[in-house]
Structure 1
Amino acid sequence: MRTATPAPLPMETIRFSDILAAERIKITTLPATWIALVIALCANTVLGVVAATDVVRIAGQDGPIPIARLGTLMLAPVYVFIAIAVFAAGSEHRGGQLRVSLAAVPDRDRLFAAKLTVSAALSLIATIPAVLPGYALRHAAAVRAGELRAGHAVAGFVALLTVYLLLGLIGHGFAVIAKTVITPLAVLFITPVLVSPLFRSTLPHVVKFLPHEAALSLLGMPADPAIALHPVAGLLVLAAWAALSASIAWKIFVHRDS
């Protein structure tokens, strides 16, 4: 006697909210998510304390420089933090895990939209605890002394959250394109440390439009006046990088074999 095989559930029974919930569970249960969050929190807090107390200065051509003026150093924790978005996007390419997701949600457009939405939302939420303690420690004394207006401090915090979110979106798209987590993290970290300093004097009009330099311009902390953009221009450039990375990743995800 043959038993009838149950037909697969129609796509209509899989709600978009179900896909969002599955992605949320996946990201929040990844060890890399919590490791990146804790490391970024600790690094930002330490940098905030050191910058506020001004106990450490770096030797420069014009004398010792407070670390608070070293934009690349102060922004360094973001390259640990973006591992949240990178692992969310790239971890499923190991061991054929993506095939399981596609078997459950064959509509690749819906699946990618859910992945990108949850990655962006959770990255934005996680940015607050990762950044706020260090930022508050760094600027609280200046606000109390009247050296920094509270409104300016809030605007600076929002700008920092924006930088973390947009760099995370760039990392997310890059991880989908590369189908790995190692390459995006390595490239995004090495570019501001090695590539930008190497070409800063010879190709300043190119370097200023790289994601890291655009982020520093948005924060009002350019590494060099020659590569500085207006903060609004820095925001637009960084947003353009994020949109480009996400759109290319979306197209590749939809059309590439799993």
Structure 2
Amino acid sequence: MSTATSTPPPVETIRFSDTPAAERIKITTLPATWIALIVAFGANTLLGVITATDIVRVAGRDGPIPIGGLGTLMLVPVYVFIAITVFAAGSEYRGGQVRVSLAAVPDRKRLFAAKLTVSTAFSLIASIPAVLPGHVLQHAAAIRAGELRAGDVVAGFIAVLTVYLLLGIIGHGFAVVAKTVVTPLAVLFIMPVLVSPPFQSALPHMVKFLPHEAALSLLRMPVDPATALRPVAGLLVLAAWAALSASAAWKAFVHEDG
């Protein structure tokens, strides 16, 4: 008497494109994504209007300083905007949600690559509407007056998008390593305000290699000549920080428990 053996039905495998698609859906359904985008857009637009009209100036050692000359203030919106990549990377660690993702995609390398790629691509695309209106408002009058060429404004816009992209990668990597969203946002926001200023005079050659100062150098808006780098050097330093952050996140995610 023979017994028939039943074959279990085939399990539907997850296609390569499913992982990035799932990450895109996750990012676009996170409330933090749209809050960060709206706030960054509003802040950039407001700063653009204030800079263009020159209705507000800040007292300085040599007299009132236009808002547009304060690099740290003009860069504040990016630290709101990077919440997009920070939440994309760190929100899954709350309540162990990352284990669900790993159960669906056990290949950690594939999952990490999808997370970083989608987070970076979405951040780059979203930075355009977040930055463009404010950037145009800020420089429109100078273009009409012949003080700036359109090509210079476009180059400046690309530089700003590059800063948003690289700081976003830094935030993403930091969130994976820290396994939280709070620490990366707090550290990246506090460092330019509380850490860099006290050391600018004592250790300028170290401070200028920090991410915030490198970003300001890339944008040609250094806080102090002592902490200034050439724009290309600022780009390379900021890119090195982004690569270091992504590498540390890769090691933490791929080789450690989720």
Query: What TM-score bracket applies, with the shorter chain setting the length?
Result: over 0.9
C-alpha displacement at 1:7, in angstroms?
Answer: 6.5
Residue equivalent to 1:68: 68
Q: What residue number does 2:204 align with? A: 204
Matched residue, 2:23 = 23
Tell me the SS of whatever aligns to 2:201: coil
Query: How far has the Cα of 1:8 moved from its partner?
Result: 7.2
Q: Deviations over 1:159-203 (max 9, x none)?
A: 000000000000000000000000000000000001000100000
Structure 1: any 5+ residue segments left out of the alignment? none
The one-letter code of the counterpart of 1:29 is T
Greater Cα radius of gyration, structure 1 or 2: 2
Q: Give the 3 Å change call, closer, same or farther, for CA 62–15 of structure 1 in structure 2.
A: same
What secondary structure, in the 3-state scheme, does the structure 1 residue paired with 2:60 have? coil
Q: Is the 1:105–1:111 contact (alpha carbons within 8 Å) kept by the matching residues of 2?
A: yes
Counterpart AA for 1:218? L
2:95 corresponding residue in structure 1? 95
- Equivalent positions of 1:130-145 (< 5 A) are 130-145=130-145
Q: Are the structure 2 counterparts of residues 89 and 8 from structure 1 closer, same or farther at C-alpha, using a change threshold of 3 Å?
A: farther
Residue identity matched to 2:105: V
Query: How far apart, in 2, do the equivalents of 1:151 and 1:133 lie?
Result: 17
Contact 1:16 1:114 (C-alpha < 8 Å) held by counterparts: no
One-letter amino acid of the counterpart of residue 85, structure 1 = T
Structure 2 unaligned residues grouped into runs of 5+: none
Partner of 2:46: 46
3-state SS, counterpart of residue 59 of structure 1: strand
Alignment-mate amino acid for residue 37 of structure 2: L
Shift, 1:14, TM fit: 2.0
Query: Which residue is 1:9 aligned to?
Result: 11
Please give the alpha-carbon distance, in whole angstroms, between the structure 2 residues aligned to 1:250 and 1:105.
16
CA contact (8 A) 1:196 1:207 kept: yes
Q: Which amino acid counterpart does residue 170 of structure 1 have in structure 2? A: I
Secondary structure of the 1:64 match is strand
Question: Secondary structure at the residue paired with 2:17?
Answer: helix
Q: Among the aligned pairs, what percent are the same residue?
A: 80
The separation in 2 between residues aligned to 1:39 and 1:110, in whole angstroms, is: 32
Secondary structure of 2:63's partner?
A: coil
RMSD: 1.4
Task: Tell me, in whole angstroms, the C-alpha distance in 2 between the residues paired with 1:99 and 1:4.
Answer: 31
Give the CA deviation at 1:106.
0.3
- TM-score in terms of structure 2 length: 0.96
Determine the C-alpha separation between the residues in 2 that align with 1:51 and 1:6: 67
Give the drift of 1:4: 6.8
Aligned counterparts of 1:177 and 1:8: Cα–Cα separation in 2 = 36
CA 1:6 to 1:187, structure 2 compared with 1: closer, same or farther past 3 Å?
Answer: farther
Q: Secondary structure at the match of 1:16?
A: coil
Q: Which residue number in structure 2 is paired with residue 175 of structure 1?
A: 175
Aligned to 1:149: 149
5 Å-filtered alignment, 1:96-135, equals 96-135=96-135
The aligned length equals 254
